Chain A
């Protein structure tokens, strides 16, 4: 009789435990986190990089700075672009941006990458130690003047990080 009673309690406890777990799982499924967790992870750097690129795109920076530089040979476009990027980034961040042009060869059906140039801060970006960095790739179809660059597709690779 006593042995049978212990087994019953064990079964009851197991059932209670499973019920508690099931309730918690259900509550977890229907509730949002109780607190916000700030995580300064690489995703923030990516978001920052994409925001920077989208802002530059909306402001027409590529047509106004990059295109005149690489198409018309205007000097100093690197400095202008560097100034624009650094003024848009929070302090303490370093970056490297490489700009290429994507050429569509309709006859062969291929897309080729033609490097146009790069900007970085610091200039010796890759010689500096980075303890946290993220890179993104971005495409930009030129839509503004001049006509010589309109419909040109730029391919931009941007690395942003915290320097040691």
Chain B
């Protein structure tokens, strides 16, 4: 094929090829241009995305920090930071809710929602869509114990290693910029670790925030970074225990003065303070420490409160004798060995915020040594404070036990200082030693066998600020008129062994029994049949015609049985009723109410898991009065009892002989005559029992009460039993009497009586009792009587 052979149609083909090539080049150029535009678009928009994302994320972190600061500042000291906390009081974070992390959390969630709306509008031109997810985060590496952040924020305080944390995962889109599904872990936190404490220094480490890492564990975890700005932009407070004139801790805290603070690097600080404190020794570990509370805040206002110790430990030592002595009716000295099982020896103790322990209102002796003083309980809400008690005297048997929180004060009545309960505590309030009020922790220590002399008690506290007061099971219950359990009218406390019906102005008519016309007393009833055994009368004076005990305390019992804020939580250990009255009334005649006789303060405790009812009584005579008969305390019997016994005080001679704990002329069987049978020199115990049904009740009077009987009644003091009630029904009471109804004597104006009597329920056999015959049943009360006496009160061994 030669050139000459080229045909005219071939040129048209070349033009076509050239056209196609040009079109192809044009398309390629167009594609390159589009690509360049694409690249330039990305290059120019990407910095804005980065900055907007960074801005929103940083602001979310600040919002989280602000809310954590609000929650922790309110928890630590609401009033000190009122400029912040007060702004959220309308939302529920008021002074009463300062220790309610749930309220603070709700406010934080609300706040974050409004913040979300605000940033959505502010960054609206970018099409910002923002959301966050509340997730869990493991902070165990921070605290050195298994803990996590959940529900947005958590606080773990009052321990050597404490922290405040908030965590959420932020999600955002910038729809206008084509940027979607950005996720970022946002964590704010502050961790305080107290390493070492001395008399005038404390060494701490402070960390904050940190990177959230997915380590393959179920939860992401975080390790904080050293906080190096504590001295320049943060704050630190040191609290030291208050001391009395002898330098002994008294339960309160005071702010120390920081004298020097030095930064040792990597978040470590040494803080020196004054006044110096006494270094004490942990009896379990032997570790020495100064009892301090350390509080730090970062510049964002997040607070952490730590403590140099995590628990307080001491021992309770029982002092009751395991071999008892008495004189039988013939005057022969006898011994009585307690059974090995003494499981009814259960002490209901109170640890006051002033670090005193009480039993039956009596301050317990402490075996003190300077290095073993009890340190104060941290400045924490009472809901976080718990107790463990051993069961066999060893640390191995320590277990959590029910605890009850009560508020007590001291009232001054005519110069007599009386410890007086004012109700169950608000569990969200601080466990503090106050000028007027003190919190008391009530718990029980039992000694199940005679081989156990000491039990460990460990007071400890939850570190979780979300901790709620525990609702422990209990067998006692308050039943009032209108409750479904009440068949007619009630003001009762139910107990497995007895129901106690409180009669008073509010509830004068005892069910199926007598109208007490406003006189305050308590009626013991059978818990199964509701039959009344008869009332316990606090006090009585004079006669009304032929009826005994005309003027008795008149008023209304105030019953404390639940926590006000947590009304569904019943008092787990004891329900107590208090009577504070200046009036006396007459059970035999309406309207015979006087205010010119004596004032009465009385505290009655119905105690779970025990067989005793303490009745603490204070009487003040406003005027001198004469009358036929004066009764200190009486317990009616409604004819149930067929045996009676009392023990002598040994304060007055009988037939020329003085003996303590002499079953003089008793026990004796019920008999119709004399109608009132009395014997001299009443001592610590009176009792009556039914041999047929195997139940008995004793009144154990403390030594102070026995002495008052003697000092007021003199040789006229008597144990009496009244055989019949006014209507002629069989009665069979047991009574402590200053003088009997057959003689008129005078009580002096200004006379003060302070005593307690314990109603003790016992059987003829069973756990914790000896197996005894009908005439010996009283011994099952006697083997427990010493625990209610001052001389045998338990002792505290720090």
Binding site for B on A (CB under 8 A): 2-3, 6, 9-10, 13-14, 17, 20-21, 24-25, 28, 33, 37, 39, 41, 43-44, 46-47, 50-51, 53-54, 57, 60, 102, 104, 106, 111, 137-148, 150-151, 153, 155
The 10 closest A-B pairs by CB, nearest first: A50-B51, A17-B24, A147-B84, A147-B83, A151-B66, A104-B114, A141-B62, A6-B13, A47-B47, A148-B83
Other-chain contact of A20, B24, B35, B55, B56 (Cβ < 8 Å)? B24
A31 to B117, CA, bound (A): 41
Measured CB to CB, the closest approach of chain A to B120, in angstroms, equals: 10
Cβ-defined partner of A111 (8 Å) among B31, B47, B118, B300: B118
Contacts A6-B9, A10-B16 given: A21-B51 contact, CB under 8 Å?
Answer: no
Binding site for A on B (CB under 8 A): 7, 9-10, 12-13, 16-17, 20-21, 23-24, 27-28, 31-32, 35-36, 39-40, 43-45, 47-48, 51-52, 54-56, 58-59, 62-63, 65-67, 69-70, 73, 81-84, 87, 90-91, 110-111, 114-115, 117-119, 121-123, 125, 299-301
**Of B44, B47, B58, B84, the contact of A151 (CB 8 Å cutoff):** B84
CA distance A106 to B65 in the complex (A): 20
Give Cα A145–Cα B66 distance, bound, in whole angstroms. 11
Beyond the given pairs A10-B13, A106-B114, A143-B301, 17 more chain A to chain B contacts, judged by CB atoms under 8 angstroms and listed by A's residue number, are A9-B13, A9-B17, A21-B27, A24-B31, A25-B31, A28-B31, A37-B39, A39-B44, A44-B47, A54-B58, A137-B122, A138-B55, A141-B66, A146-B83, A148-B84, A150-B70, A151-B67
Identify the closest chain A residue to B114 (Cβ): A104
Asked if residues B66 and A143 are in contact (CB atoms below 8 Å), the reply is yes
Chain A residues, CB < 8 A from B21: 13, 17
Q: How far is the CA of A145 from the CA of B20 in the complex (A)?
A: 73
Given contacts A13-B17, A151-B84, contact A46 B48 (CB under 8 A): yes
Residue among A21, A138, A151 having the largest count of chain B Cβ atoms under 10 Å:
A151
CA distance A43 to B12 in the complex (A): 52
B36 contacts which chain A residues (CB < 8 A)?
33
A57 to B299, CA, bound (A): 13
Contacting residue for B54 out of A50, A137, A141, A150, CB 8 A: A50
Chain B residues with CB below 8 A from A143, complex form = 62, 65-66, 69, 299-301
Contact status B118-A3, CB under 8 Å: no
A39 CA / B47 CA spacing, docked (Å): 13
Are A28 and B35 touching (Cβ within 8 A)?
Answer: yes
Choice from A3, A20, A106, A144 contacting B28 with Cβ under 8 Å: A20
Q: Known contacts being A25-B31, A47-B47, is A144 close to B299, with CB within 8 Å?
A: yes
The residue of chain A having its C-beta at the shortest distance from the C-beta of B85 within the complex is: A147
Distance of A150 Cα from B65 Cα, bound (Å): 10
Complex alpha-carbon distance, A102 and B111, angstroms: 12
- On whether the beta carbons of B20 and A13 are closer than 8 Å, the reply is yes
List the B side residues contacting A50 at CB < 8 Å. Answer: 48, 51-52, 54-55
**Complex CA distance for A55 and B712, rounded to whole angstroms:** 85
How far, in Å, is A52 (CB) from chain B's closest CB? Answer: 10
| Chain A residues within 8 Å of B43, by CB | 37, 39
Chain A residue nearest to B35 in the complex (CB): A28
Known: A43-B47, A141-B62, A145-B299. A53 touches B55 (CB 8 A): yes
Residue of A17, A20, A43, A146 touching B48 (CB-CB under 8 A): A43
Complex alpha-carbon distance, A111 and B114, angstroms: 7
Which residue from A6, A13, A60, A140 sits with its C-beta under 8 Å from B10? A6
Residues of A within 8 A of B73 (CB): 147
Check if A144 sits within 8 Å of B300, measured CB to CB. Answer: yes
Instruction: Report whether A153 and B35 are in contact in the complex, using a CB–CB cutoff of 8 Å.
Output: no
A33 surroundings in chain B (CB, below 8 A): 36, 39
Q: In the assembled complex, how far is the CB of residue B182 from the closest CB belonging to chain A, in whole angstroms?
A: 16
Q: CA A54 – CA B48 in complex, angstroms?
A: 13
> With a CB–CB cut-off of 8 A, which chain B residues contact A51?
51
Cβ–Cβ < 8 Å partners of B125 in chain A: 137
Residue in contact with A47 in the complex, picked from B20, B51, B301, CB distance below 8 Å: B51
CB pair A54–B13 under 8 Å, yes or no, is no
